[in-house]
């Protein structure tokens, strides 16, 4: 498999119409089954709606990172400054047909670098659906550890759609960035 050189930039509101379908393809519906990050067996919803995505892109303490390869959108992620040296990583999506090609590792590394540079973050935190053992293992191989904290999954906030299980929760992972 050839290596794709990635270009990173901060998303603008005009990027949202392209980002929204990428995020949905990476996690929901039949298209997501091409990759390994699918949550199609857990949730049948839209993952995120446009107003929420725009809030993440334009927030004063958050940003969405656009990742392009060969001039095409291939991935994205959200970074948020939580204060006291803590940054949050989420909304991570890699084009399903390109998953397992090393793009995710590069994006995560850039997100960590950016959090250190922009906010002097000392720790990165994320939450992953607890039932996603293979995804949690992927993050653990990159230095993240489970904190033991569990957060409720917002089942009542799914729109449009539904959860396909009623036992979902978020596991919290952290990694020191220093």
In a domain, 63, yes or no: yes
How many residues are there in the chain? Answer: 178
Residue 156's domain comprises 6-176
* pLDDT at position 57 over 50: yes
Mean pLDDT of the chain: 92
* pLDDT at position 139 over 50: yes
**Single pTM value for the model:** 0.92
Q: Residue 174's pLDDT is what?
A: 98
Q: Residue 1's pLDDT is what?
A: 44
> How many Cα atoms sit within 13 Å of 67 on the Cβ side?
25
Total domains in the chain come to 1
pLDDT in tens, 21-49: 999 999 887 887 888 778 878 887 788 99
Q: Where are the alpha helices (DSSP H) in 9-124?
A: 16-27, 50-58, 103-119
| Burial readout 32-59 (b: 16 or more C-beta within 10 A, e: otherwise) | beebebbbeebbebbbbeeeebbebbee
Tell me what percent of the residues of the chain surpass a pLDDT of 70: 97
Which CATH number belongs to the domain containing residue 81 in this structure?
Answer: 3.40.630.30
Q: Summarize the confidence of residues 130-145 as an average pLDDT.
A: 96
In a domain, 1, yes or no: no
In a domain, 55, yes or no: yes
In a domain, 168, yes or no: yes
pLDDT in tens, 109-137: 999 999 999 999 999 999 999 999 999 99
In a domain, 160, yes or no: yes
Q: Give the whole-angstrom CA distance, residue 49 versus residue 104.
A: 23
In a domain, 13, yes or no: yes
Q: Summarize the confidence of residues 83-101 as an average pLDDT.
A: 94
Retrieve residue 159's tokens.
Answer: 């729109």
């Amino acid at each position: 498999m050839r290596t794709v050189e990635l270009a990173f930039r901060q998303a603008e509101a005009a990027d949202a119409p392209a980002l929204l379908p990428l995020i949905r393809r990476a996690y929901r519906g039949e298209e997501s089954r091409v990759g390994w990050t699918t949550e199609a067996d857990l949730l049948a919803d839209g993952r995120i709606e446009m107003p929420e995505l725009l809030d993440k892109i334009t927030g004063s303490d958050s940003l969405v990172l656009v990742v392009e390869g060969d001039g095409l959108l291939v991935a994205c992620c959200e970074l948020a400054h939580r204060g006291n040296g803590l940054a949050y990583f989420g909304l991570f999506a890699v084009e399903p047909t390109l998953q397992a090609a090393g793009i995710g590792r590069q994006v995560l590394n850039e997100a960590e670098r950016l959090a250190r540079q922009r906010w002097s973050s000392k720790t990165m935190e994320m939450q992953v659906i607890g039932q996603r053992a293979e995804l949690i293992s992927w993050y653990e191989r990159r230095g993240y550890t489970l904190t033991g904290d569990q957060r409720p999954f917002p089942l009542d906030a799914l729109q449009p759609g539904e959860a396909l299980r009623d036992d979902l929760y978020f596991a919290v992972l952290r990694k020191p960035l220093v």
